[in-house]
Amino acid sequence: MDERIPRDFETLRATILDRRESLPKRIAQIAAYALDNPDDIAFGTAASIAASAGVQPSTLIRFAQQLGFDGFTSLQQVFRERLRERNSSYDERLQALRAKAEGGAGHRAIFDGFVAAASTSLNDISRTLDDAHLEEAISLLAKAQTIYVLAKRRSYPVATYIAYALGKLKIRNQLIESAAGLNAEMIAFATPADAVIAISFSPYAPATIEEARTISEQGVPIVAITDSSFSPLAQFARVWFEVAEADFAGFRSLSATMALAMALTVGVGEKRRDTARRRKA
């Protein structure tokens, strides 16, 4: 009776799962239904939910009370809150999580922060990405003999994933790494029949900018992924994408960039297959 009542959905879920064994049959039935159809609980009336779950309304109320709520209505609040949360602007959630992490709320808060930053970035990019640019970039890259991938530091992980994916799709590509110090030579091989994917975010790695400049002066078309129209990359690029990644604890998400990178890669793969097929026919 004086147990702690779950205030948020995850706690509630855990509580239910925890007690599942010890619940009476009908109560267990409604418990299972609740976890399977949380939306119905959020919106339905006691009677309608009870009917869908095949129990009496009173059972539903007993279920709520057993969990410590004082009735169905307060149980329902938790299910509604869940929908609100999920839907609430990720920005607000990020704010809150940042404050929480600052306040030393433990490592879970840090993790949640990174998840929220990633989600925000994904939301953002799917709102802002321009379809025409995507098409243009893919056509351009699909025509290239070799695709050069250019990125350093923070953007480097994206470059390695692009290179990996291009490799799997059997698309000739060259990752421009700095390790061996042979970048200049590597770049010298690129011709206007090739193409470059360049990725750089503020603060722009000077080497990336320099290499992009050189390569664009050789007449090689560049597709750039960067973070603003003022980016030095943008001026060298034939097509460029503005990607705003949310940051957390000083590190930016890469999710949006990754999603775009993969779309470009797979897009090129598809385009080539289409072209090949059409040529045969």
Partner DNA sequence: TATGGATTGGAATTATTATTTCATATTCCC
Partner DNA sequence: GGGAATATGAAATAATAATTCCAATCCATA
Smallest distance, a copy of itself to C-beta of residue 147, A:
16
Pick what 74 binds: a copy of itself, DNA, none; C-beta below 5 to 8 Å, kind-dependent: DNA
Of 13 and 26, the one with the shorter C-beta distance to DNA is 26
Of 53 and 233, the one with the shorter C-beta distance to DNA is 53
Of 30-49, binders to a copy of itself (CB under 8 A) are 39, 42-43
Pick what 20 binds: DNA, a copy of itself, none; C-beta below 5 to 8 Å, kind-dependent: none
For the stretch 37-51, what's the b/e string if a residue is b when 16 or more beta carbons lie within 10 angstroms of its beta carbon? ebeebbebebeebbe
Pick what 32 binds: DNA, a copy of itself, none; C-beta below 5 to 8 Å, kind-dependent: none
Tell me how far apart the alpha carbons of residues 121 and 128 are, in angstroms, rounded to a whole number.
Answer: 11
Q: Residue 67 to residues 56, 64, 72, 146, 174: CA-CA distances in angstroms?
A: 17, 5, 10, 62, 59
Does 19 help bind DNA (rule: CB under 7 A)? no
Does 127 help bind DNA (rule: CB under 7 A)? no
Count CB-CB contacts under 10 A for residue 8.
Answer: 11
Of 27-56, binders to DNA (CB under 7 A) are 27, 45-47, 55-56
Of 216 and 255, the one with the shorter C-beta distance to a copy of itself is 255
CA triple 99-243-135, angle to 5 deg: 150
Does 12 help bind DNA (rule: CB under 7 A)? no
Smallest distance, a copy of itself to C-beta of residue 143, A:
15
Does 236 help bind DNA (rule: CB under 7 A)? no
Of 10-29, binders to a copy of itself (CB under 8 A) are 10
Tell me how far apart the alpha carbons of residues 105 and 97 are, in angstroms, rounded to a whole number.
Answer: 9
Smallest distance, a copy of itself to C-beta of residue 135, A:
6
Of 70-109, binders to DNA (CB under 7 A) are 70-74, 76
List interacting residues with DNA (CB under 7 A): 24-27, 45-47, 55-59, 61-62, 64, 70-74, 76
